[in-house]
Structure 1
């Protein structure tokens, strides 16, 4: 089974003035070798994943999409999960999305 590693890339120039997590917009990239078919986030204090933000869509290898998290929370720290078309998944915990400009899944 393949292992996927999620690598956050900070683009400070895009979100340098972001102060709260009320409306977060960032690029979600897929540099893995298979389609990203599910993307979930949840506040780090939560024990469950929120709904799939891709909502039935997918991100093919080499592509990216804008992601909006408009949950009204003022917390910036989220856990991230990506599921792929080959059945594998990757999780990352405690990611500060207020400082994040892009999040990329890679092989």
Structure 2
């Protein structure tokens, strides 16, 4: 019986190590509750120094009062990210240390 328990535990550990990391792909609703058009939205794991690609894409904007689904799929295993918002009117906002693993929506306000 003792051998079975050890073998079962080893199989459980092996299975857990094969599961994907928590933050590999995360989707959430981005709500633009500001008075400006969101032109660019960048993210990066908080432990890194460079911003990723614009998540709104080359044709994307998010008008004031609108919302959209954002996907962070950079295959990072990190949950804590920094956000950078740039508006069409030239405003810039950086928000540090957002836990994307528990995020259902994020609202951008003035």
TM-score range for the pair, normalised by the shorter chain length: 0.7 to 0.9
Structure number with the higher strand fraction is: 1
Q: What CA distance in whole angstroms lies between the structure 2 residues aligned with 1:39 and 1:84?
A: 9
For the residue of structure 2 that corresponds to 1:67, the secondary structure is strand
Q: Which has the higher contact order (CA 8 A, sep 6+)?
A: 1
Segments of 5+ residues of structure 1 without an aligned counterpart are 1-18
TM-score, with structure 2 as normaliser: 0.78
Residue aligning to 1:54:
56
Q: Which runs of 4+ in 1 moved over 2 A?
A: none
2:56 is paired with a residue whose SS is: coil
Residues paired across the two proteins, number: 89
Task: Supply the distance in 1 between the matched residues of 2:87 and 2:107 (Cα, whole angstroms).
Answer: 13
- Gaps of at least 5 residues in structure 2 are 1-20
TM-score normalised according to structure 1 size: 0.80
CA offset digits 1:43-92 (Å, max 9, x no partner): 11111111111112100011011011111111101000100011001111
Provide the rounded CA distance (Å) in 2 between the counterparts of 1:54 and 1:106. 18
